[in-house]
Amino acid sequence: MSNAAVKRIGVLTSGGDAPGMNAAIRSVVRTAMNKGIECIGIRRGWSGLINGDFVRLNSDSVSHIINKGGTILYTARCPEFLDREGRAKAIATCKMLGIDGIVAIGGDGTFRGALALTRQIAETGYNLSVVGVPATIDNDIGCSNYTIGFDTAANTAIECIDKLRDTMQSHERCSVVEVMGRHAGFLALYVGISVGATAVLIPEREVDFDRDVVEKIRSARLAGTTHFMIVVAEGAGSAVEIGRRIHDEIGIDPRVTVLGHIQRGGAPTGRDRETASRMGYEAVNALLAGKGNRVIGTKEGSLVDLDMEEALAMVKNLEMYRYDVLEALSPSGT
């Protein structure tokens, strides 16, 4: 795609929402306007592309959204997009609107949908490219060191746990807190270290309940601690079940808190606003430079754009030395 060929681009948010998505939308729209490119907002992710749910966007329509959580374009998961028939409808929408490129803001599923779309659209001879911007509070996109929304979600969880700790200390109790992270423990471990948790349970480390919970609480109690904080990633087990086992095996009556979707909300932090703004800017420039099927990621503090197929093949492994840090700093001193 040559620079001159890009006249109109679409932008969408897909999958789970993440704080900072609005900042990314704002950046895409204003960068496009600055370059003389028209921008169309596709509402409700890939579903909106199938159903023709769109809105014209301009500089004014994205004013005062950089500080807002959620996404003004809404988001949705779209099983229909997994099928060729669904993608064919999406291609028809692209042709009808005259869209030359799309910036897709989301996670792994969003990018896999983008890749499937561009492969199918190539069969028709229609020229359209997609650039992905990684946004997920799980921070589990293999091709990027950082994803939009992680910092805000972590700070939200930390603030909530700090407040819980106040009452746990007052009553000398145990608290079990479940944070998001169905397949990845990046958020749980980051939060656990930040709040000085007694123990953290993550999907990447097989849970040995006696070793990882019971002995941690016992060691902390022998060290003089009278309150205990257990952080559980949702993919490592149910906080309710963990709490029940603590009661049954140690005789402590824990209080269980599932933070849930509160972690997705709230005004994005400065880091998420700034990162989203840079990523949106680079995504538009990639399209204008004739680059298609790319993902904008971060590497060692800088932005990079990577081939989408190669990016999707990358795996991000949790740095387990962080678990060593947690162990060394735990209340038990182990």
Give the model confidence (pLDDT) of 280-308 as tens digits. 999 999 999 999 899 999 998 899 999 99
Q: Is residue 10 part of a domain?
A: yes
Which helix (H) or strand (E) covers residue 94, if one does? Answer: helix 84-97
Helix 21-34 with 270-288: angle, nearest 10 deg = 40
Q: What is the pLDDT of residues 233-262, one digit of tens each?
A: 999 999 999 999 999 999 998 999 999 999
Catalytic residue set: 138
Statement: residue 334 has pLDDT above 50: no
d(CA 310, CA 120): 18
Burial class (CB in 10 A: 0-12, 13-18, 19+), 112: middle
pLDDT band for position 169 (50/70/90)? confident
The predicted pLDDT at position 49 comes to 95
For the chain, the straight-line distance linking the first and the last C-alpha, in angstroms and rounded, comes to 58
Stated pTM of the model: 0.93
Are 254 and 276 found together in one domain?
no
Whichever domain contains 176, its CATH number is 3.40.50.460
pLDDT band for position 333 (50/70/90)? very low
| pLDDT, the chain, mean | 93
Whichever domain contains 133, its CATH number is 3.40.50.450
Helix 270-288 with 150-171: angle, nearest 10 deg = 160
Q: What mean pLDDT do residues 170-193 have?
A: 92
The predicted pLDDT at position 215 comes to 93
Q: Work out how many domains the chain is built from and give that number.
A: 2
Are 133 and 156 found together in one domain?
no
Q: What mean pLDDT do residues 30-46 have?
A: 97
* CA distances (Å), origin 296, targets 6, 311, 318, 322: 19, 10, 21, 26
All residues at 6 or more sequence positions from 86 whose CB lies less than 8 Å from its CB, including other chains: 46, 50, 78, 80
From 264, 292, 321, the end of a domain falls on 264
Q: Residues, the chain, total?
A: 334
Q: Is residue 85 part of a domain?
A: yes
Q: What mean pLDDT do residues 146-173 have?
A: 91
Place of tokens 């960068």: 31
Identify the residue with better confidence: 124 or 24.
Answer: 24
At 59, the amino acid letter reads S
Are 143 and 156 found together in one domain?
no
Identify the residue with better confidence: 56 or 122.
Answer: 56
pLDDT band for position 318 (50/70/90)? confident
The predicted pLDDT at position 1 comes to 43
pLDDT band for position 7 (50/70/90)? very high
Counts for the chain of helices (H) and strands (E), in that order: 12, 11
Q: What mean pLDDT do residues 269-285 have?
A: 98
Which range of residues forms the domain containing residue 226? 151-264
Are 19 and 136 found together in one domain?
yes
Q: To the nearest whole percent, how much of the chain has pLDDT over 90?
A: 82
pLDDT band for position 332 (50/70/90)? low
